[in-house]
């Protein structure tokens, strides 16, 4: 019997494990998942919470309830991967040996990497993030109380989870104040370390047009070096400054400690180094990466994970038979961008091409706001779509 060890019980770990369990009985393949948290969060709705479009209680479920019967869940932390000897060292459960290892550790938020950011967040005054649920709730409550000022959405560095999310926030914030009749009392600014708001056409041109028509200022090539919540100033490494009354910040992201602590598994930033099509480690033939943890040159989104899980199961099935699968991940992701109330644009693309047109529609809004969460809990995590 083969043993597959999965590090991480987030979207990637659940989608892969459940799909794999459907293919093999527990007598044929043992699947062991290591996950330190007891709660699973539906992260794509954090931006919805900010604007009162979803209830936080809908976004949390116990991790243990998400896995199919026959999958062993260990609540522990993986601290090191010994790829040469096919084992994972854990914090409490000792060493776990594997035939195949799937790394689904996600991305962590590095609030301490930008000077003043951690302190500014703890002050609960004018600096918030929606990249965790508690931050989304605090940002929601702050927005409700504002009747004027400068609102800034800032991205510290790339890569990040869902690169479109900071743009969604600033567009929705602008539209919210417009609907309240307060638009002329606000200024809206979006800062990005990239040369432009978005890198893919036709979505880049569409977003540029939206920002211009609605008076949302873009500050490109801006990499934050310091956050000063007392003065309400965001500084970048080049000496530029942006003043704010409310700052919604996307902190630096990095891979988990276990990747940094494991020889030949990841890069300097802690991302698992994998072939972008085959999803296999560049150093170990029986180690795979899925989801935000991997260094795939595409957006870190649940939609990408769903596609990756299908590919990874097919590749592992072939591998265990001594065969070679022709299934490859092409970098496909779908990113719903809320542009204003009742309108959403889908950015759908892969490594090589854009797939969907840059169109805002109400039907996309219905799918994003009302349908995606139940689809996620009931179908995506169970490997049914």
Q: What is the pLDDT of residues 88-135, one digit of tens each?
A: 999 999 999 999 999 999 999 999 999 999 999 999 999 999 999 999
Structure tokens at 208: 């540029």
In this structure, the answer to whether residues 273 and 316 fall within a common structural domain is yes
Rounded CA-CA distance 288/292 in Å is 13
Phi, psi of 248 (to 5 degrees): -100, 110
Q: Is residue 205 part of a domain?
A: yes
Q: Supply the pLDDT for residue 108.
A: 96
pTM for this prediction: 0.96
In this structure, the answer to whether residues 200 and 313 fall within a common structural domain is no
Q: Is residue 367 part of a domain?
A: no
User: What are the CA-CA distances from residue 314 to residues 20, 278, 329 (Å)?
Assistant: 9, 11, 11
Structure tokens at 166: 């900071």
In this structure, the answer to whether residues 35 and 97 fall within a common structural domain is yes
Rounded CA-CA distance 247/219 in Å is 14
Non-local (6+) Cβ contacts of 146 within 8 A are 177, 186, 245, 246
- Please state, as a whole number, how many other Cβ atoms lie within 10 Å of the Cβ of residue 123: 12
User: What are the CA-CA distances from residue 72 to residues 7, 26, 31, 92 (Å)?
Assistant: 12, 10, 6, 16
Q: Is residue 360 part of a domain?
A: no
Nearest Cα to 132, choosing from 228, 204, 37, 46? 46
Residue 162: which pLDDT band, with cuts at 50, 70 and 90?
Answer: very high
Last residue of a domain, which of 202, 222, 252? Answer: 252
Q: Is residue 174 part of a domain?
A: yes
Q: Supply the pLDDT for residue 14.
A: 98
On whether the CB atoms of residues 265 and 273 are closer than 8 A, the answer is: yes
215: left (phi over 0), alpha (psi -120 to 50) or beta: left
pLDDT digits (tens, 9 = 90+) for 254-271: 999 999 999 999 998 999
Average pLDDT of 44-67? 98
pLDDT digits (tens, 9 = 90+) for 284-302: 999 999 999 999 999 999 9
pLDDT digits (tens, 9 = 90+) for 21-33: 999 999 999 999 9
pLDDT at position 84 over 90:
yes
In this structure, the answer to whether residues 116 and 247 fall within a common structural domain is yes
Average pLDDT of 129-150? 97
Structure tokens at 25: 């009985």
What is the domain-level CATH number for residue 205? 3.50.50.60
Average pLDDT of 304-333? 96
337: left (phi over 0), alpha (psi -120 to 50) or beta: beta
Rounded CA-CA distance 353/185 in Å is 40
Residue 199: which pLDDT band, with cuts at 50, 70 and 90?
Answer: confident
What angle, 0 to 180 degrees and rounded to 10, lies between the N-to-C axes of helices 302-320 and 11-23?
Answer: 40
Q: Supply the pLDDT for residue 57.
A: 97
pLDDT at position 251 over 90:
yes
In this structure, the answer to whether residues 126 and 236 fall within a common structural domain is yes
Range of the domain at 147: 112-252
Burial 265-277 (b: 16+ CB within 10 A, else e): bbeebbbbbbebe
Q: If DSSP codes are grouped into helix, strand and coil, which group holds residue 28?
A: coil
Structure tokens at 337: 């961008």
> Count of alpha carbons within 13 Å of 9, Cβ hemisphere only?
27
Sign of CA dihedral 63, 22, 72, 303: negative
In this structure, the answer to whether residues 242 and 282 fall within a common structural domain is no
In this structure, the answer to whether residues 204 and 219 fall within a common structural domain is yes
Rounded CA-CA distance 234/226 in Å is 6
Q: Supply the pLDDT for residue 170.
A: 98
Burial 144-161 (b: 16+ CB within 10 A, else e): eebeebbbbbbbbbebbb
Last residue of a domain, which of 279, 305, 320? Answer: 320
In this structure, the answer to whether residues 232 and 316 fall within a common structural domain is no
Q: Supply the pLDDT for residue 317.
A: 96
Q: Got the DSSP string for 143-193?
A: HHH--SEEEEEEE-SS--BSTTHHHHHHHHHHHHHHHTT-GGGEEEEEE-S
Rounded CA-CA distance 237/311 in Å is 40
Tell me how many domains the chain contains: 2
Structure tokens at 281: 């480690």
pLDDT at position 281 over 90:
yes
Q: Is residue 101 part of a domain?
A: yes
Residue 295 CA from chain centroid, whole number: 13
In this structure, the answer to whether residues 306 and 219 fall within a common structural domain is no
């Amino acid at each position: 019997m083969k043993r597959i060890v999965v590090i991480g019980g987030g979207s990637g770990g659940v989608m892969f494990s459940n799909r794999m369990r459907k293919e093999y009985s527990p007598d044929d393949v043992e699947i062991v998942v290591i996950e330190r948290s007891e709660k699973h969060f539906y992260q794509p709705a954090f931006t919805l919470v900010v604007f009162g479009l979803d209830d936080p209680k809908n976004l949390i479920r116990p991790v243990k309830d998400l896995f199919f019967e026959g999958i062993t869940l260990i609540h522990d932390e993986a601290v090191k991967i010994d790829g040469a000897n096919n084992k994972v060292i854990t914090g409490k459960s000792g060493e776990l040996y594997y035939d195949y290892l799937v790394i689904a550790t996600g991305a962590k938020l590095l609030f301490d990497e930008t000077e003043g950011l951690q302190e500014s967040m703890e002050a609960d005054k004018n600096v918030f993030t929606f990249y965790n649920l508690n931050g989304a709730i605090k940002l929601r409550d702050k927005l409700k109380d504002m009747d004027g000022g400068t609102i800034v959405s800032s991205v510290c560095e790339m890569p990040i989870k869902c690169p479109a999310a900071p743009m969604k926030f600033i567009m929705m914030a602008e539209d919210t104040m417009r609907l309240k009749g307060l638009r002329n009392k606000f200024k809206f600014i979006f800062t990005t370390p990239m040369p432009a708001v978005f890198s893919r056409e036709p979505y880049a041109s569409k977003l540029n047009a939206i920002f211009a028509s609605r008076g949302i200022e873009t500050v490109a090539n801006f990499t934050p070096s310091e956050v000063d919540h007392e003065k309400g100033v965001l500084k970048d490494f080049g000496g530029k400054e942006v003043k704010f009354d409310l700052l919604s910040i996307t902190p630096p992201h990095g891979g988990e400690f276990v990747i940094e602590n494991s020889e030949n598994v990841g890069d300097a930033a802690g991302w698992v180094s994998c072939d972008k099509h085959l999803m296999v480690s560049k150093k170990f033939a029986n180690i795979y990466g899925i989801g935000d943890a991997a260094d795939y040159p595409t957006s870190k989104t649940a939609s990408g994970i769903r596609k990756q899980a299908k590919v990874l199961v097919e590749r592992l099935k072939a591998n265990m038979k001594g065969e070679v699968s022709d299934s490859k991940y092409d970098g496909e992701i779908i990113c719903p961008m809320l542009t204003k109330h009742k309108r959403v644009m889908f950015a759908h693309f892969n490594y090589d091409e854009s797939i969907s047109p840059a169109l805002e529609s109400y039907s996309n809004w219905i799918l994003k706001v009302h349908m995606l969460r139940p689809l996620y809990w009931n179908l995506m995590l169970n490997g049914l779509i």
